[in-house]
């Protein structure tokens, strides 16, 4: 096992929530991808971060537009998480109801909760960029159990 593989294996033991990061392309089309490297950073100002791979096709558009939204997924949305983790940009939004909040980034209607963010700062971090977003709007959605990712598989937790 390489050191990268060992690190991935160890980090897989840290359960995370699952979110869909969305934004707009240069031509105004919706784009999005599944992420689990998401964290709250600060309450004042309200800041969150999402880690985006340098090779992500979405990264340049998010940086140009200066905004993104996070939609936190519920246990019943595993198919949505899988769709946004692969496939084509056009297929990802098929049959997924969205709305636009202040920044113009689409928010998934069926999300447990959501954040609409303007990029506050970008930090280079190895093969990723940390996009730190200042929350301009947020809200709770569905009363459901969260979708979580643990050891390479989707699941849920019950409080």
Query: Tens digits of per-residue pLDDT, 94-133?
Result: 999 999 999 999 999 999 999 999 999 999 999 999 999 9
What pLDDT is stored for residue 3 in this prediction? Answer: 94
Q: Report d(CA 115, CA 136) in Å as an integer.
A: 8
Q: What is the pTM of this model?
A: 0.94
| Strand-pair partners of 120 | none
3-151 is classed CATH 2.30.110.10: yes
41, 47 Cβ separation under 8 angstroms: yes
Instruction: Give 155's Cβ-side CA count (13 Å radius).
Output: 10
CA–CA gap between residue 26 and residue 55 (Å, rounded): 17
Residue 44, judged by CB atoms within 10 A of its CB (0-12, 13-18, 19+), counts as exposed
Q: What tens digit of pLDDT does each residue of 20-49 get?
A: 999 999 889 999 999 999 999 999 999 999
Predicted pLDDT of residue 159: 76
| Mean predicted lDDT score pLDDT of the chain | 94
Measured distance CA(11)–CA(7) in Å, rounded: 6
Tokens 């459901």, located at residue: 144
155 phi/psi in degrees, rounded to 5 = -165, -160
């Amino acid at each position: 096992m390489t050191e990268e593989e060992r690190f991935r294996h160890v980090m897989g033991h840290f359960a995370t929530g699952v979110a869909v990061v969305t934004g707009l392309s240069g031509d105004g089309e919706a784009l999005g991808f599944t992420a689990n490297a998401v964290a709250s950073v600060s309450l004042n100002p309200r800041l969150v971060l999402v880690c985006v791979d340098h090779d992500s096709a979405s990264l340049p558009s998010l940086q140009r537009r200066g905004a993104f939204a996070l939609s936190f997924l519920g246990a019943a949305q595993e198919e949505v998480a899988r769709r946004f983790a692969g496939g084509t940009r056009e297929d990802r939004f098929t049959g997924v109801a969205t709305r636009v909040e202040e920044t113009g980034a689409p928010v998934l209607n069926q999300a447990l909760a959501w954040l609409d963010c303007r990029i506050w700062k970008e930090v280079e971090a190895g093969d990723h960029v940390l996009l730190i977003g200042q929350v301009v709007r947020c809200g709770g959605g569905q009363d459901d159990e969260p979708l979580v990712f643990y050891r390479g598989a989707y699941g849920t937790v019950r409080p």
